[in-house]
A and B are shown apart, each in its own frame.
Chain A
Amino acid sequence: MSGNRLKGELKALEGDNAVAEAMRQINPDVVAAYPITPQTEIVMTFSEFVANGLVDTEFLAVESEHAALSACIGAALAGARALTATCGPGLALMWEMLWIASSWRLPIIMNVVNRAFSSPLNILCSHDDAMGSRDAGWIQLYAESQQEAYDNTLQAVRIAEHPDILLPVMCCLDGFVLGHTLEPVEVLPDEVVKEWAGTYNPCYSLLDIDHPVTYGAADFTDYYFEHKRPQWEAMERAPKVILDIGEEFGKVTGRYYHLVDSYRLDDADVAVVVLGATSGAVRVAVDRLRKNGIKAGMLKLRCFRPFPAQQVVQALQGKKAVAILERVAFFGAEASPVFLEVATAFYLRGVSTKLINYTYGLGGRDTVPGQICGVFQDLIDITQTGKTEPIFRYLGLRDF
């Protein structure tokens, strides 16, 4: 922690309002969004800021999420700093445009207030939406708290617009769990955010009529492949930039950000890997177990795209057993996405730690520390029996 860290104003904010507050302070050129539960309060609150003249933003109340992201893409091509927000079905409707935003290297910032996919109809939290779009070329950050949702939004602007990156950034916060619950959030002074965010200087702009360029030309067999290749390059450069900006943010606020965060992990025998709001419940479980002399620890993924494979392996190698907790209902693979990433990272580095995978909390179901303690107990059993089957497990399911 920095000695001369800046003291912001402590406000009681729901996650959605914390995001809206960050957006107000960033004062983007364009916000195009369509309200959808549980993201609605971001759009609602931000549109009030617009109506009250608190921002200079051109706010576009569009007819769909496809249009929302399309409008942001157009605005970003024109050289504007463009932000939006959505969740679940809205993100699904943006699907086509997600890929266009990233392949056009547009630094659009989008908060995703995670919501489960229907059916059955559900408006509560799963990570299906963001996890489903994990390969769309967006950087993905996940928040544990309302504070992190606010801080991630501020950092995302700098990450996305960094000349080495120029990729859109998706900032995820668990629907309702973070989006609609009040927590104290330290809000920076407006002028500090203004200086932090700076001005976006686009490398090309549709409005730069002195230097006209052609956007959106067709590519067939001759150039499509070559035009995709730089996206890998930008993604590979992202970890360093995310770390640098997390460090710089720490110097301003005292809150330092990394790709992954460890909790009581160094001497742990068994560990849980988790992302998003459930990290809080895992911390409580770890503390309880530590009181009983059980060496439990947590690895929280703040950044899922790009996947910080090196950092994950460094943090987890040597553990006797690791459980990866995921809030998705994805079908057909041997395990869920984070597990597959961790397993790949381990395999490629010759690490053979025992891994199991839990799906939990679907459709907003609470996942409490007692259940996480059960996961740790399962891990301890594995360390004693050496038996990991079944690899894929259900946490909090009425399994009868």
Chain B
Amino acid sequence: MSDRLRGKMPEKGWKELPIRGLIIEPGNSVNYETGSWRALRPIINLEKCPHCMFCWLFCPDGSIIVKNSQVTGVDLRYCKGCGICAVECPRQVITMVEEAEVAKETNVW
């Protein structure tokens, strides 16, 4: 599996794991970067954003970055591209763009 799909969490062997597949350390989902699951990327038009925080409230992964009560972007390490933010945005300033299109433009791949 590629690093892109695997995320950055170091992978443990079976002998290192707790019984039952339990997760015994609270809050460790921060180590599990799910951004690689994303097929659609949310692009926020920050010039038109009213900073109403709807996207921040609805995002299931806490991926909306807010600084000083202002939306500043999306944390792409965790954003799965579900598109809930784009649906809920009352001003419709969030657009979901194919990752492949973004990749073409940014030459990521």
Contacts and interface: CB of A to CB of B under 8 A. Distances in A.
Interface of A: 103-105, 166, 203-204, 211-217, 219, 221-223, 225-227, 229-230
Contact of B14 (A166, A203, A221, A230): A230
Interface string B7-21: 100011110011111
Contact of A223 (B17, B19, B24, B26): B17
A203 B11 CA distance: 24
B6 interface: yes
Contacts of A223: 11-12, 17, 21
Contacts of B103: none
12 contacts: A105-B19, A204-B19, A213-B18, A213-B22, A213-B23, A214-B22, A217-B21, A221-B5, A223-B21, A225-B14, A229-B14, A230-B14
B1 interface: yes
A104 B7 CA distance: 26
Contacts of A219: 21
A230 B24 contact: no
Interface of B: 1, 5-7, 11-14, 17-24, 26
A214 B14 contact: no
A213 B14 contact: no
Contacts of B23: 213-214, 217
Contacts of A229: 14
Nearest to B12: A226
Contacts of A230: 14, 17, 19
A182 to B, nearest CB: 41
Given A226-B13, A226-B14, A230-B14, A215 B22 contact: yes
Given A221-B1, A222-B6, A222-B11, A227 B26 contact: no
Is the contact region of chain A dominated by helix, strand, or loop, or is it mixed?
loop
Contacts of B21: 103-104, 216-217, 219, 223, 227
Contacts, number: 49
Contact of B17 (A104, A203, A212, A226): A226
B17 A227 contact: yes
B20 A204 contact: yes
A211 B20 CA distance: 16
B20 A212 contact: no
A292 B35 CA distance: 77
A226 B24 CA distance: 16
Contacts of A203: 19
A172 B17 CA distance: 33
A204 B18 CA distance: 10
Nearest to A228: B14
Given A105-B19, A221-B5, A227-B14, 17 more contacts: A104-B20, A104-B21, A204-B24, A213-B24, A214-B23, A214-B24, A215-B22, A222-B1, A223-B11, A223-B12, A223-B21, A225-B14, A226-B12, A226-B14, A226-B17, A227-B21, A230-B19
Contacts of A217: 21, 23
A235 to B, nearest CB: 14
Contacts of B18: 213
Contacts of B6: 222
Contacts of A204: 19-20, 22, 24
Interface centre among B7, B19, B22 (most CB of A within 10 A): B22
B78 to A, nearest CB: 16
A103 B22 CA distance: 11
Nearest to A232: B14
A227 B5 CA distance: 19
A81 B1 CA distance: 41
B14 A212 contact: no
B50 to A, nearest CB: 35
Nearest 5 CB-CB pairs, A to B? A214-B23, A226-B14, A229-B14, A227-B21, A104-B20
B109 to A, nearest CB: 21
Contacts of B7: 222
Nearest to A214: B23
Interface centre among B1, B14, B18, B23 (most CB of A within 10 A): B14
Contacts of A215: 20, 22
Nearest to B26: A212
A336 B1 CA distance: 39
Nearest to B24: A213
Contacts of B26: 212
A213 B19 CA distance: 11
Nearest to B6: A222
A227 B18 CA distance: 9
Contacts of A227: 14, 17, 21
